[in-house]
Structure 1
Amino acid sequence: MRSLKQLVHFGWVQTLSCLFPVVIFASLAITKILPLPYLSRYDWLLIICLLMQWWMVYSRLETLDELKVITVFHLIGLALEVFKTHMGSWSYPEEGYFKIFGVPLYSGFMYASVASYLCQAWRRMKVELVKWPSYYLVVPLAAAIYFNFFTHHYLIDMRWWLSGIVMIVFWKSWVTYEVNGTGYRMPLAFSFVLIGFFIWIAENIATFFGAWEYPNQNDAWSLVHLGKVSSWLLLVIVSFLIVATLKQVKGDYSTKMRMEENNNIPGGGKCL
C-alpha cells in the first residue's frame, strides 16, 4: 500500500508540474474541435499561452527566475522552428497574424513548456544532482547538441556520436529526488531517456490535433516515426543541461553572497 501511495503521490506531483503542457494540449484539442471566432487558431493559441504564463507567475506557481529560464527556451525554440520549417522538416499550414517567417509565435511555448515542467518538477521534488560534470564539459556539449539540429542539414549528422558522449560524460551522474518525504535516486542518463520518450508521445498527440505537420502527415495523420525519439532525447538533454547549469550558477552565487554577508557581520566571521 505504501508503494501504491507513493506512486499516486508521484503522479500527482508530475501532473502539477505538467500544468503548462496540459493547458497547451487542451487548447490544441478545443480549438481543433470548436473553431473560435474573430482570430485564427494559431493566434488564439498564442493568446491562451500568454494568459497561462501570466497566471502561473501571478499565482506564484512559477517564480520570476523560472520565467527567465522559460523565456530563454521560448527564444531558442522559436529560432529552431524558423530554421526547421524553412528546411521543410515540418510546417504550419494554417493562417495567422502572429507568425514570423511562417512560424506561429505560440510554437515557442511548446519548448517553453518543457522548461516549465523541468523547473516545476525540480522545485516540487527537491531534485539534486550527484557527481555533476564540470561546466567546461556541460556547456560545450549542450551547445554542440543544439547546433547539430541546424548543421546536420549541411554536414554529417552527429546525433548518435553526441548521444554516446552524453552517456560517457554522465555515466557516473545521478539525480536524487523526494516523493512525499522519501528520497529516491535515478541514473541521470536514464531520466533523459524517459523524458524524451514521453515527449515523443506528447508529440503524437500534438500532431494529431494539428499543432504542426510532418511531410508524411499532409494527407492524413500518422504516427510520428520512432526515430524522432532520438531528436527529442537530445532536446531534453539540452533543456536539462541549461536548467541545471543555471541552477548551479545561481546556487554558487547565493552561497558566495551568504559567505560575504557572514564575513561582514560582527561575530559572523570564520570559526577557528
Structure 2
Amino acid sequence: MEKIMEKFVQIENVHMVFNTRGGRYVALDNVSLNIRQGEFVSIIGHSGCGKSTLLNLVAGLFAPTSGVLLANDREIAGPGPDRAVVFQNHSLLPWLTCFGNVYLAVERVFGDTETRADLKRRTREALALVGLTHAEQKYPHEISGGMKQRVGIARALSMQPKVLLLDEPLGALDALTRANLQDELMRLVATVGSTTLMVTHDVDEAVLLSDRIVMMTNGPAATIGEILEIDLPRPRARLELVQDAHYLRLRGEVLKFLYAREVKAA
C-alpha cells in the first residue's frame, strides 16, 4: 500500500509583493502551510486577504517574492499538468463542444504518449464522471452555468492532476445549483483522490467539503490566522449536518473568526 505523504504540498515562509502604480503592495506575509496527500483544504477570509494569490502561487501562475513552494517534493516553478485549476469563470472555448474543451486538455497532457483513441476514451471518461455524457456535442452557449462548471471540472480531472486547485468554482451559481455541485464535488474528490485546495467565501461550503479550513487575516500583509480541523466523518450528508451540533459549532468557529476580522477592519 502506497504511503500517504504528510507534506504533499509545502508552502514555506512565502512572501508576495506586487509592484503597483501606488507603490509596493504586500499581499502575503510569511505564509507557511503543509497539505497532506488526498486532503481537502479550504482557504477562507475577507476580500483582499490574498486567498486567490496563494492559490495562484501553488498553481505556478506567480512566483513568490521569497519563500518556497513544493508539490510532491518538487519545486513549483511554473504551471504544470500535475496541478489543475478550476476558476469561477469556467473559461470554456465557445467554438468547441464540451467534448472538444476537455479533449484539448487531454491532448496537451497525454498527446505525445497515447493514441487518439486513448485520448478520446480519457475525454469521455472525464465527462461521464461529472454526468455529462449526454452533452458531449453541445456548445457552451447551449448549456447551463452549472453544466459549464461541470465541464470545467471534467477538464481539470481529465489531466489526472496530483493537486486540484479550485478558485471559487461555484461562486457565480444559484443556490440550488451550487448545493448540487457541492455534493458532486464531494463525490468526485472521494472517487479520484486528488489533493484539493479551494478558495471560497462560503462558510457552509468550506465546512461541508473540507478536512481543514485555513482562515486568513485581512490584507495587506495577510497571513494565516487560524487553521480549523473539520473532523466530521465522511461521507457527509448535507441534510443531516444541518442539525448536527458539532457541524454547527465548527461553522460558528469560522464565523467568529471572520466577524472579528470584519470588526477590526471597520
Give the TM-score taking structure 2 as reference length.
0.30
Give the TM-score taking structure 1 as reference length.
0.29
Q: Greater RCO between the two (CA within 8 Å, min separation 6)?
A: 2
- The answer to which structure has the higher strand fraction is 2
- The answer to which structure has the higher helix fraction is 1
Q: Which has the larger radius of gyration?
A: 1
